[in-house]
Amino acid sequence: MSKKVLNDIHNILKETFGYDSFRGDQEKIVQSIIEGQNTLVLMPTGGGKSICYQVPALYLEGTSIVISPLIALMKDQVDALRVNGVEAHFLNSTLSESQANEIFHKLMDGKIKLLYVSPERLFANDSYLIQQLKRIDISQIAIDEAHCISQWGHDFRPEYRKLSNLKRHFPTVPIAALTATADSRTREDIIKIIGLEKVFISSFNRENIHYQVQVKQNSRSLLLDYLKDKRGQSGIIYALSRKSVESISEYLNEHGFSSTAYHAGLSSDQRMIRQEEFIQDRIDIVVATIAFGMGIDKSNVRFVVHMDLPKNIEGYYQETGRAGRDGLPSDALLFFSRGDAVTLRGFIDQGHDINQNEVLHDKLNKMIAFGETRKCRRQYLLKYFDESHNGQCDNCDNCTRTFDVFDGTEIAQKALSAVYRLKESFGTNYVIDFLRGSKSQKIREEHTWIKTYGVGKDLSKALWQAYIRNLVEEDYLRIEGLKFPVLKLGTKATAVLFNKQKVSLVRVESILQTAKKSQDHLVVKHHDLMSALKDVRRGLATKENVPPYVIFSDKTLVELCHYLPTTENDLLRINGFGQIKLKRYGPQFLKVVKDYCTAQNLASNMDTNTKSVKMRSNSTRSAQAKAKKSASKTQLETLKLFQAGMSIPEIARERDLSNSSIQNHLAQLIYFGRVPLSALVIDEKIDPIKMAIQKTSGQGLAAAKAILGEAYTYAEIKAVLASL
Ligand code: ADP
Ligand code: ZN
């Protein structure tokens, strides 16, 4: 690709969309399409798929056709493009005949850059539209939500099948197929049906989402507590039943929140109105059954809460993925209970297809394991989607807390020998009842004669459940079978049963502890300014009849508050301000910022070299938020060993904690001034690390690590961060 083309596409990105750089694979994908290749794009929700075909559409001569199944999304996309000054239109069933005719004429005159159309419309009347399109200059065909093509995809649409003819109709036009959900089978299907040559698979990691699981006990009051510092922010709360959706929404409104309920029991008009109010930022929170969320692109959803256990990881990931599309720190909170799992199992068993039920049980088991894991949640989720992660994301509840461990050898011996003596043929509940010497009918007569029967009376059922989960995670035990999972001995069992090897277990209180509240995410320095900017945005949105986030994302407003720009040139350096938006909206936003600065006697924070430095990094913030006044007992314990000359892995082994925990201790100790930075990081490395942290501010440690490469460790990065 020539320098000139690269230059041109960067200019389009900056001038039309207001973005400084492409994200991830975007640039390569744009190049691939411009070079005429038929391209498949797999990117998570919020990854930035639209730019991939919108930039080529503007770069190439002629009209780009975008095929999209969701009418609501079409309007959103077209609104967003038009606000940026792009000639974009859609053709679908919501238009009147005369409106449709008008657009059709524009199209035939070659006046439209991007035309969004539903597959139904494309093939209506014996593919009349397709025949007409052949008469004009078509530059590209983009297929959004491309998984609908495959019957393995979860939203198969028969009309999409006809898209397999596209290549025949338009043999020289590049096709781009885009989707956020496709496993390998679906992927192969799409490639084959459309005839694609190039494939781009992005990481599904959503770095800006903080994952957190809380035990479901008094979940409503915990929810209130959680929402306390989230007033005015947009969020979605999912619950299983209509009844609970209604009552949670009422409960929140009684406590001064602005929420509404959304479920399939409402009329479609009611649903549309409520969705619209949420999109327009007139209502903060939607409490919904899973029916809500498909087809909305709202970029400033700051949190997604699950009051009940989702059925599978796919659904959970899709729902939590609706948070933080704008890239700003966002939250996913799940209230976890095994009781929910029992209910869900009941639902599954109502199904008649036994094979299908097995699959569903398996998926549910993996969801439960997610709730109970004490390892990195992000790693777990990514592994589910066949992607590896090092397990130290620093942005999930498990990565940011330390677990207390104790010598659990005796407990482990009891559990393991029970499983052994029950011939590895019974499920967790039976084993626990057996250990506790239950008198229930369920326990077989012959089992009551076994020596281990009743040796675990002293522990409650809940404790046994937690310890057994712990033993499974550490490979002392394993679970086999889907619908009737049975406990079996794991690879590490023999050493414990026969060689008296010691086992450490995690103190249950430290698993069940109320995880610390979500991080203090959006630290907006100037609250009054932020709300004044939101007012301006809302006013413009109403006037132009588009959602507020189409005018500007929250990210733009947050940057305005941080940098306090005072000239039009300054504004161009704020994320989201392209030429058109600068002209259209610049003066109004500038005036609000300037008035505020005058009233508060503040100077602008714009300084070419420090734009990224001034955005305080998310991880710095959470490190500070976590900081207590002085070192804790466990940190002091680590300090003692560190001072005795032990390395991090050695301390981790000695204390039976993870490397990550020890690194966190040392980082805190640096923060408290108990350990000098030089003890952990050599001088030459400090500056490069600082630069990487600044460059990736807000994106988490992994992003900084990616820049620094293998020669730098997480421990070093954390240490420098703490010293800042
Ligand atoms: P997807 O369709 O993959 O869910 P979108 O195309 O809606 O994602 O993009 C998600 C968000 O990211 C949008 O708010 C968009 O404006 C923003 N975005 C996309 N690409 C960039 C970029 N290169 N720089 C900054 N923001 C971007
Ligand atoms: Zn993690």
Q: 3-state SS string over 522-541?
A: CCCCCHHHHHHHHHHHHHHH
Is 13 a domain residue? yes
Of residues 182 and 706, more confidently modeled: 706
Report which protein residue has its CA nearest ligand 1's atom 13. 326
The answer to whether residues 288 and 390 belong to one domain is: yes
Using pLDDT thresholds of 50, 70 and 90, give the confidence band for residue 526.
Answer: confident
Name which residue sits closest to atom 24 of ligand 1, judged by CA: 19
Q: Which residues pair with 234 in a beta bridge?
A: 301
In a domain, 322, yes or no: yes
Tell how strand 259-262 and strand 285-288 pair up.
Answer: parallel
CATH code at position 500: 1.10.10.10
Share above pLDDT 90 across residues of the chain, in percent, rounded to a whole number: 45
Does the beta carbon of 178 sit less than 6 angstroms from any atom of ligand 1? no
> Virtual CA dihedral for 119, 120, 124, 127, nearest 10 degrees?
20
Looking at 351, 368, 402, the residue that finishes a domain is 402
Between 523 and 504, the higher pLDDT residue: 504
- 17 Cα nearest atom in ligand 1: 16
Say whether both 455 and 572 belong to one domain.
no
Residues 194 and 63 in one domain: yes
Exposed e or buried b per residue across 373-388, where buried means at least 16 C-beta atoms within 10 angstroms of its C-beta: bbebbbbbbbebeeee
Higher pLDDT, 546 or 13: 13
**Is residue 390 located within the same domain as residue 361?**
yes
CATH assignment at residue 132? 3.40.50.300
Question: For the segment 427-486, what is each residue's pLDDT rounded down to a tens digit?
Answer: 998 999 999 998 888 888 888 888 889 999 998 887 898 899 889 888 899 988 877 889
The tokens for 665 are 């201790």
Asked, for residue 82, whether it belongs to a domain, the answer is: yes
Q: Which of 139, 170, 201 is the last residue of a domain?
A: 201
Between the CA of residue 334 and those of 228, 337, 553, what are the distances in Å? 17, 10, 26
- Minimum-distance ligand to the CA of 29? 1
**Nearest ligand to the C-alpha of residue 382?**
2
Query: Are the C-beta atoms of 323 and 330 separated by less than 8 Å?
Result: yes
C-beta 330 within 6 A of ligand 1:
no
47 lines ligand 1 (CB under 6 A): yes
Note the pLDDT of residue 156.
Answer: 65
What pLDDT digit, counting tens, does each position of 300-313 carry? 999 999 999 999 89
The DSSP secondary structure of 26-45, one letter per residue, reads HHHHHHHHHTT--EEEE--T
For residue 88, is it within any domain? yes
Residue 152 and residue 14 share a domain: yes
145 lines ligand 1 (CB under 6 A): no
Point out the domain boundary residue: 367, 382, 402: 402
**Residue-wise pLDDT tens digits, 567-595:** 998 898 898 998 899 999 999 999 999 99
Residue 291: both structure tokens together: 């029916």
Question: In terms of pLDDT, which residue wins out, 635 or 15?
Answer: 15
- 157-171, 199-213, 321-335, 519-533: lowest mean pLDDT where? 519-533
The rounded Å distance from CA 202 to ligand 1 centre is: 14
Question: Can you name the residues that pair with 65 across neighbouring β-strands?
Answer: 115, 141
Q: Whose CA is nearest to atom 14 of ligand 1?
A: 326
271 is a domain residue = yes
Mean pLDDT is lowest, of 72-81, 83-92, 408-417, for: 72-81
Which of 74-88, 217-231, 641-655 is predicted with the least confidence, judged by mean pLDDT? Answer: 641-655
Q: Residue 672: which domain range?
A: 618-723
Domain count, the chain: 5
> Does the global pTM surpass 0.75?
no
pLDDT of amino acid 669? 86
Whole-number pLDDT of residue 513: 46
Can you give the pLDDT at residue 142?
Answer: 97
| Same domain membership, residue 149 and residue 30 | yes
Task: Measure 325 CA to ligand 1 centroid, in angstroms.
Answer: 7
> Is any atom of ligand 1 closer than 6 Å to the C-beta of 49?
yes
The answer to whether residues 197 and 213 belong to one domain is no
Same domain? 506 vs 533 = no
Residues 333 and 431 in one domain: no
Beta bridge partners of 176: 39, 142
Establish whether residue 50 lines the binding site of ligand 1, counting it when its CB lies within 6 angstroms of any ligand atom. yes
Q: Establish whether residue 236 lines the binding site of ligand 1, counting it when its CB lies within 6 angstroms of any ligand atom.
A: no
pLDDT of residue 619: 38
Asked if 150 and 264 sit in the same domain, the reply is no
- Say if strands 63-67 and 88-91 run parallel, antiparallel, or are unpaired: unpaired
Q: Is residue 9's pLDDT more than 90?
A: yes
Average pLDDT value for residue range 258-272? 91
**pLDDT band per the 50, 70, 90 thresholds, residue 262:** very high
pLDDT, one tens digit per residue, over 30-58 is: 999 999 999 999 998 878 999 999 999 99
Instruction: Please report whether residue 519 resides in a domain.
Output: no
Mean pLDDT for the stretch of residues 217-226 = 89
Same domain, 627 and 574: no
pLDDT band at 69 (very low <50, low <70, confident <90, very high): confident
Residue from 325, 575, 581 whose mutation best tests the ligand 1 pocket (most atoms within 8 A of CB): 325
**Helix (H) or strand (E) run with residue 718 in it:** helix 714-723
Which residues in 29-66 are b (16+ Cβ under 10 Å) and which e? bbbbbbeeebbbbbbbbbbbbbbbbbbbbbbbeebbbb
Shared domain for 493 and 452, answered yes or no, is yes
> Which ligand has the minimum distance to the alpha carbon of residue 393?
2
Ligand 1 and 325: CB distance under 6 A? yes
Q: Quick check: is 522 in a domain?
A: no
Q: Is residue 197 part of a domain?
A: yes
| In contact, 397 and 512? CB cutoff 8 Å | no
| Contact (CB, 8 A) for 594 and 563 | no
Phi, psi dihedrals of residue 383, rounded to the nearest 5°: -60, -40
Q: Is the CB of 43 under 6 A from ligand 1?
A: yes
Task: Say yes or no: CB of residue 45 within 6 Å of ligand 1.
Answer: yes
Q: What is the CATH number of the domain that holds 560?
A: 1.10.150.80
CB of 519 within 6 A of ligand 1: the answer is: no
SS3 505: strand
pLDDT digit string, tens, across residues 103-162: 999 999 999 999 999 998 999 898 999 999 999 999 999 999 888 887 655 556 778 888
